[in-house]
A = this chain, B = another copy of it.
């Protein structure tokens, strides 16, 4: 079994909470730091032996790992607080480069879980893909070991690859959710819940995973069924209509490749 590391968590939001609880099963989360003492103490109290603090001066210097899990814009404000620590300092953001941590600790890294975390929804962390970057091979190895301790899916990604992953996730998660939002609004007008689309969505997802999604494409756009497309466009308006038009053009264009 791998050595139990001592970990300090910076942040008390959704990602910090899910990671802290999971990491505490394998390692020892010794401190949670947050600007709001109540939040720090609340998360700390759910861990095995952990102190919640809101005073950066109290952060211990000798932890093995400092995990910064705060909003993207705040990472650069946290880094200087960890100037003098001994361990590895890593952030958990998909869209921020490793260089923001240049002055923090002895070694730097990124520990990015490709998942959306909510306060109350259970997430099986063992199935979350983690993308690791380190300022040296040694750091990459340490962070990958930590990730493997809590997840079955651990990959390496430099800052450019991570940015690509983040863009792909915007299309594949944020934009997909928005399509479901539009779909849900259209269904509501006819008296149906989004739930009626669940079997279709599940098959759509499975198909896209088991064959190139371009081959799995169905519907009026890929059939170039102009009559149906016109009929649909006459029944949607505003941005829903713009989305319909651009997606349809994009599907048709893709087929011209």
Q: How many of these chains are in the complex? A: 2
CB of A37 within 8 A of chain B? Answer: no
Are A231 and B95 neighbours in the complex by a CB distance under 8 Å? yes
Q: Which residues of B contact A127 (CB under 8 A)?
A: 199
- Near B by CB (< 8 A), chain A positions 100-137 give 114-116, 118, 121, 123-124, 127-129
Which of A164, A202, A208 has the most chain B CB atoms inside 10 A of its CB?
A208
Are A216 and B177 neighbours in the complex by a CB distance under 8 Å? yes
Please choose the segment from A2-10, A39-47, A54-62, A184-192 that sits at the chain B interface, where 4 or more of its residues have CB less than 8 A away.
A184-192
Are A190 and B161 neighbours in the complex by a CB distance under 8 Å? yes
Q: Chain A 217-245 against B: per-residue CB contact (8 Å), 1 yes, 0 no?
A: 11111100100100110011011101110
Are A207 and B118 neighbours in the complex by a CB distance under 8 Å? yes
Are A247 and B201 neighbours in the complex by a CB distance under 8 Å? no
CB of A169 within 8 A of chain B? Answer: yes
Q: Which residue of B lies closest to A186 (CB)?
A: B168
Are B165 and A217 neighbours in the complex by a CB distance under 8 Å? no
State A235–B162 Cα separation when bound (angstroms). Answer: 13
User: Among the listed B180, B209, B219, which residue makes an inter-chain contact with A198, where contact means beta carbons less than 8 Å apart?
Assistant: B209
Are A218 and B254 neighbours in the complex by a CB distance under 8 Å? no
Are B254 and A173 neighbours in the complex by a CB distance under 8 Å? no
Q: Write the residues of chain A forming the contact surface with B, with a CB cutoff of 8 angstroms.
A: 72, 95, 114-116, 118, 121, 123-124, 127-129, 153, 155, 157, 160-161, 163-184, 186-187, 189-192, 194-210, 212-214, 216-222, 225, 228, 231-232, 235-236, 238-240, 242-244, 246-247, 249-251, 253-254
